[in-house]
Amino acid sequence: MSPTCVFLIGLLCFFALVAMGMPLAFAFALVGAAGIWVLKGLEPALSILGSAPWQWASPPSLIIIPLFVLMGEFAYQGGLIRDMYEAAYKWVSRLPGGLALATMIACTGFAACTGSSLASAAAMSTIGYPEMKQRGYDDRLAAGVVAAGGTLGILIPPSIPMMIYGFVTQKPIGTLFIAGILPGALIAGLYCTAIVALCVRNPGLGPTGPRFSTREKIRALPGVIPTLLLFMGVIGGLYLGVFSPSEAGTMGAFLALVIALVKRRLTRQGFISALGETVRLSCMILTLVIGAMIFMNFAIVSGAAAKLARCIVALPFPKVGILIVIAAMFLIVGMFLDIISATLIIVPIFAPVVASMGFDLIWFAVIAVILIQLGLITPPIGMNVFVVQGMTQVPMDEVFRGILPFVIATALGLIIVFLFPQIALVLPQMMS
C-alpha cells in the first residue's frame, strides 16, 4: 500500500474518531502515531510520542498563550465588557438597532482583551442577548450579532490563531498582532453597517432605544477607559517596541488584575475561576498543538503534504488564482475544525507555497485568520453558532439565518483586504 493511501485511510480514521466523540488532540495524536508506526515502524512512532510534548509545547514563544488568556479572564471577571456595553448603548441607543450595535461594540472591546472567539461569544450570550431579548429584538438578529461579534476575538489582537501562526511560520508575533488591527476594525465596522441596514429596512428587527442626555453619555465614558488603557498599554507597547510579546502578555495580565481589583469586582471565587479557566484553556491549546504536530509529521512522512502542495502549485492558474484555491481550502477546513486545529494543520502546508509565489506572509496571516473567522459562522459546523445556540436556546436554523448578513459582511471584508493588502501591512511597515 502506498504511503499516500495510508495517509488517506488515517484521515478517514481521524474523522471517524472525532465523530465518535474523541477529543481532537487525542484523535490527531493517535492517528499520527499509528500512521508513523505503519510507515516507519514502532520505534519511530514511540520516539515521536515521547519527544512531541517537549519539542512542541516548550518553546518560550508559547508562554504568551496562557498570559493573554489570563488577561482576558481578569478583564471578564472585572466587568470590563459590561461597562463597555453599557457605555456604548448610551451613545448609540437612538440609532436603528442601537442595542445590537452596543453589543457589537462591546464584542470589539472584549476582543481586545481576549484572543478567543468562543469566549467572546459565550460572554456576550450571557450579557448582550438577554438584554436584546428583553427589549423586543428579533431572535435571529440577536443571536446573529452575538455569534458574529465573537469572531472578532481571533482577528483583533491579542489573537490566539495569530500566536499559533507565528509559532508555525516563525514570523514575529508582535507584528502579526499589529497587522490584525485595521482589518479587525474594518470588519467590525462592516458588521455595524449590516446591523443598521437590516434595522432600517425592517425596524421591527431592532427597535430604537431611549434618548440619553449629553450628561448621561459623558458620565458613561469612564466605563470605556479601562478597556482602552488595557489595549493601548499592551498593543501600544508592542507597536513602540517597548515590550516583547511575552512581556506584553505579562503586562496585560497584570493591568487587567489591577483594574479588576481597583473596581472591587474581583472576588476570591472570581480569581480562582480566572486561574482555573486559564489553566483549562491553555492545556487544551497546548495539547492540540502537540497532537496536531504529531499528525503533521505523519502527513510529512507519508508525502501527502508535499503532494498536495505540488498539486496546488501545478494548477493552470495565475498566482492569484492559486491563492484563491488555497483560500478556499482554508475556508473548508475552518468549517469543520476548530480554529487552532485548522491553523496548525493547514498553515504548515501552504505558507511555504504562498511565500514562494512572492506574497507577504504577514498579509497572508490576516487573510488566513479572516477565512477561519468566516468558517466559525458558516454551515455545516460553525463553532460560534453552536456556542450561541447552546447558550440562548434559539433554534439552530434561526441562528444560521441570523448570521447570514454577517457572513456576507465578513466575505466583503476579506475581499477588501485581499484587493488592498496595505490595510493589513501599513501598521507593521510603520512599526518597522
Q: Return the C-alpha cell found at 287.
A: 495539547
Output the CA–CA distances (angstroms, integers) from residue 378 to 130, 145, 182, 289, 403, in the order listed.
24, 14, 23, 24, 8
Output the CA–CA distances (angstroms, integers) from residue 324 to 1, 315, 329, 332, in the order listed.
33, 12, 9, 12
Residue/partner pairs of 242-251 with CB below 8 Å, 24 or more apart: 243/174, 244/174, 245/61, 245/64, 245/163, 245/172, 245/173, 245/174, 245/177, 246/60, 246/61, 246/63, 246/64, 246/67, 248/64, 248/158, 248/174, 249/63, 249/64, 249/67, 249/68, 249/71, 249/158, 250/67
Domain spans, the chain: 62-286+303-431
Q: Return the C-alpha cell found at 307.
A: 503532494
* Cα–Cα–Cα angle for 69, 73, 77, rounded to 5 degrees: 175
Q: Going residue by residue through the chain (432 aa), what tens digit of pLDDT does each one get?
A: 788 898 889 989 988 998 888 888 899 999 999 999 998 888 888 888 888 888 777 777 677 888 888 888 888 888 887 888 888 888 888 888 888 888 888 888 777 777 677 777 777 787 778 888 888 888 888 888 888 888 887 888 888 888 888 888 888 888 998 999 999 999 999 999 999 999 999 888 878 878 888 888 888 888 788 888 888 888 888 878 788 888 888 888 899 899 889 888 888 898 998 899 888 888 888 888 888 889 888 988 888 888 888 888 888 888 888 888 888 888 888 777 777 788 888 888 888 888 888 899 999 999 998 988 888 788 766 777 777 877 788 888 888 888 899 999 999 999 999 999 999 999 998 876
> Which residue matches cell numbers 478517514?
12
Which amino acid would we find at residue 426? V
Cβ(160)–Cβ(177) below 8 Å: no
Cβ(380)–Cβ(335) below 8 Å: yes
Output the CA–CA distances (angstroms, integers) from residue 391 to 80, 84, 373, in the order listed.
21, 21, 20
* Cα–Cα–Cα angle for 383, 388, 393, rounded to 5 degrees: 130
Cβ(225)–Cβ(78) below 8 Å: no
pLDDT of residue 381: 67
Cβ(191)–Cβ(412) below 8 Å: no
The span from the CA of 396 to the CA of 399, in Å, is 5
**Inter-axis angle of helices 139-151 and 117-134, nearest 10:** 160
